[in-house]
Amino acid sequence: MVLTPTSAGATVFHRDGIVAVDAHGRIGWVGPADLHPAARPGAETHDLGPEIDLRPLVLLPGLIDLHAHLPQLPNAGLGAGLDLLTWLERYVFPVERRFDDASAAAELAPAAYRTFAAVGTTTVVAYGAVFKASMDGAFQAAEAHGIRAILGKVMMDRITYDERIDRSTILERSVRESEELCRRWHGAADGRLGYAVTPRFAVSCTAELLRESAALAARTGAWWQTHVSEDAAEIVEVGRLFPEALDYVDVYDRAGGLGPKAILAHGVHLSDRELRRLVETGTRLAHCPSSNLFLASGVMPLARFLEAGLVIGLGSDVAGGPDPSIFSVMRVGAYAQNARRALAADRRPVLAPLDWLRLGTLEGARALGLEATIGSLEVGKEADLIAIDAGLTAPVRHVDLELAGTGLHTPGHPHAGGVFGRGDDPSDIASRLIFRPHPDMVRGAWVRGRRLEGPGSTA
Ligand SMILES: [Zn+2]
């Protein structure tokens, strides 16, 4: 089975589907098996390449995590219910302080990428720590692992956990090191790796650092990522530190940070003015509902923001979010929106399972400006995809295949109707993956047709 959102706004489902991946790791053909050119009478069957039978797995586009923190993965699940600023001091700064050199990165980053791949994430956008050497190591590990990664060294000059830094050079050094990393890694691995200039958030950055960071992103073509409007106490603190700004979004606007290459995480409490300004500038939002509930930050009015035209993808925000799985983020997000509809008298319709799947794939790609490259299983795109055991049968063999130059055949399973009750309907499949997952349901993950280490190997 093949299930994917399409660029035209639809969802395509092929019960007996084939995805053909060419030698360059691009999708050469996708559709029902009986329409494949190789299936025509008299066709040369080798047109398809070696055919791999993946039944009863479902092929989906790889998931896109727009917001995570690499060094925080060991903390996942710790500190529930603390407010943001206390949680940062107690849990986050100590663990990031340990992510300080190449050996720390060599130990932690490969495990982090395996963890992401094991939950179906093929593109991760992540913050590192403030240390350049560990960021270099994190990029090297991503290059070797094969995951698609957009990473950035955290910039902080107002408060920092780096006890050895010379305060008089902190801003200059932070910008210089970010630029060196950006020059080395932005666009590396033939475009599979990218750099995001990463001022942590307004509380830890001066206006000058925010300005310099935005200028760096503009002159290098890199992304620019930070946090916004996550928690009530944080918003009060930003107002105190930036009295000249109209509101939180205006702090970043004055720095020149907003625009289509800017990815702001959270935005839980945005005012109408802030929302309008983000839409006007084409700024992207990483919605992180599991983090927002874990740290008691609030419930973002997702339906209203989408209606306003904001481009939104999903983020795990590990370890603000306790679980790196984007399926889990979809589930918590759906529950949060259901609760909001019931309690906040917001009568906008909630998103359906296929809408959540689109947010975690194609909309994430759109947020990155990569919608022509990844985010759906469509001809010409790079073959970033995952194979899922949706619970049709058990057990399923481990999938250990390189895909380049192959055709993936996923015939419909004879028992599918019985398992799903109403039949193997795409909405039911998405609903099952989101609301009734099992820990090792991701059986394979590929980027450009190359298998990622992780699925099946970390259980
Ligand atoms: Zn975060």
pLDDT in tens, the chain (459 residues): 899 999 999 999 998 888 999 999 999 999 998 888 777 676 655 455 667 778 778 999 999 999 999 999 999 999 998 999 999 999 999 999 999 999 999 999 999 999 999 999 999 999 999 999 999 999 999 999 999 999 999 999 998 899 888 888 999 999 999 999 999 999 999 999 999 999 999 999 999 999 999 999 999 999 999 999 999 999 999 999 999 999 999 999 999 999 999 999 999 999 999 999 999 999 999 999 999 999 999 999 999 999 999 999 999 999 999 999 999 999 999 999 999 999 987 888 899 999 999 999 999 999 999 999 999 999 999 999 999 988 755 554 556 667 777 777 776 654 443 334 444 689 999 999 999 988 889 999 999 999 999 987 643
Residues in CB range of 63: below 8 A, 6 or more apart: 119, 120, 121, 122, 123, 326, 327, 360, 361, 364, 386
Gyration radius of the chain's alpha carbons: 22
Could you tell me which of 221, 214, 132 has the C-alpha nearest to residue 177? 132
How much distance in Å is there from the Cα of 385 to the middle of ligand 1? 25
Compute the distance from residue 180 Cα to the ligand 1 centre, in Å. 23
The runs of H, that is alpha helices, within 146-198 are 170-185, 188-191
- How many whole angstroms from 55 Cα to the centroid of ligand 1? 38
Q: Tell me the CA–centroid distance for residue 425 and ligand 1, in Å.
A: 35
pLDDT tens for 78-101 read 999 899 999 999 999 999 999 999
For ligand 1, an ion, list residues with CB under 5 A: 317
> Measured in angstroms, how far is the CA atom of residue 120 from the centroid of ligand 1?
20
Distance 314 CA to ligand 1 centre (A): 12
* CA 247 to ligand 1 center in whole angstroms: 20
Measure the CA–CA gap between 64 and 349, rounded to whole angstroms: 24
CA 318 to centroid of ligand 1, rounded, Å: 7
Query: 26 CA to middle of ligand 1, Å?
Result: 32
Going from the Cα of 388 to the center of ligand 1, the distance in angstroms, rounded, reads: 28
Nearest to 230 by CA among 133, 331, 320: 320
Which residues, listed in sequence order, are joined to residue 149 by a DSSP beta bridge? 124, 193
Distance 317 CA to ligand 1 centre (A): 5
Distance from residue 305's CA to the centre of ligand 1 (Å) = 20
pLDDT value at residue 164: 87
Give distance in angstroms: CA of 360 to centre of ligand 1. Answer: 17
Cα of 69 vs centre of ligand 1, distance in Å, is 6
Distance 81 CA to ligand 1 centre (A): 15
